[in-house]
């Protein structure tokens, strides 16, 4: 029964992350996500066949961890009043939503200590900070785009998935230690 709650938390942490991108874009003048039916809690609207089904199963059984993604929520920068600034807000919306969920799960864990709430805290820390990495197509790369020349960003974009794989296989233990530090701080605060 615990696995059902864990999968539910994982699924909706990712969905809320994606919806927040579309909602902020909508509030900033771009209705693309709304018109495409992506401002919904219905998981079917957010499933990417490769990133949500195939890759997580493949990485779980071959590498022992889960790597995947939901279908990215689209936005059209031409509908934004200030595309450069607003793109940063849209990119930050997902990780900030995960940080809000971290605070909620931390609060719940302190009141009702449970592995389920601890998982909710940890997975949202991972989602927030992993997505802030400045590697395309992660959210942090959209922030980086406003700070570096477009040619360099396009180079990063071409090799982004390779950089993510390198990060996961060679640097994830450092990232995990960083997540542990934050988790321990929150639980002992």
> Tokens 């997505």 — which residue?
131
Q: Which residues are catalytic?
A: 18
What's the gap between Cα 128 and its chain centre?
A: 6
Q: Which residues contact 68 (CB under 8 A, 6 or more apart)?
A: 51, 52, 55, 56, 59
What are all long-range contacts of 33-40, with beta carbons under 8 Å and residues at least 24 apart?
33/73, 33/74, 33/75, 36/74, 38/71, 38/73, 38/74
Residue 55's nearest CA partner among 45, 41, 65 is 65
Is residue 90 a contact partner of residue 24, using CB atoms and an 8 Å limit?
yes
The angle at the Cα of 41, spanning 107 to 176, to the nearest 5 degrees, equals 45
Residue 36's nearest CA partner among 25, 50, 52 is 25
């Amino acid at each position: 029964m615990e696995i059902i709650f864990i999968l539910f938390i994982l699924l909706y942490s990712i969905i809320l992350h994606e919806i927040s991108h579309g909602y902020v874009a909508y509030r900033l003048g771009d209705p693309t996500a709304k018109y495409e039916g992506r401002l919904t809690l219905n998981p079917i609207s957010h499933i990417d066949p490769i990133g949500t089904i195939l890759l997580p199963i493949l990485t779980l059984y071959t590498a022992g961890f889960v790597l995947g993604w939901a279908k990215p929520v689209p936005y059209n920068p031409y509908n934004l009043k200030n595309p450069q600034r607003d793109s940063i807000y849209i990119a930050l919306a997902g990780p900030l939503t995960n940080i809000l969920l971290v605070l909620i799960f931390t609060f719940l864990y302190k009141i009702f200590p449970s592995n389920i709430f601890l998982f909710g805290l940890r997975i949202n820390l991972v989602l927030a900070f992993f997505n802030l990495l400045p590697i395309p197509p992660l959210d942090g790369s959209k922030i980086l785009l406003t700070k570096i020349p477009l040619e360099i960003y396009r180079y990063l974009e071409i090799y982004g998935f390779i950089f993510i794989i390198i990060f996961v296989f060679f640097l994830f233990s450092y990232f995990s230690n960083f997540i542990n530090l934050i988790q321990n701080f929150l639980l002992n605060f």
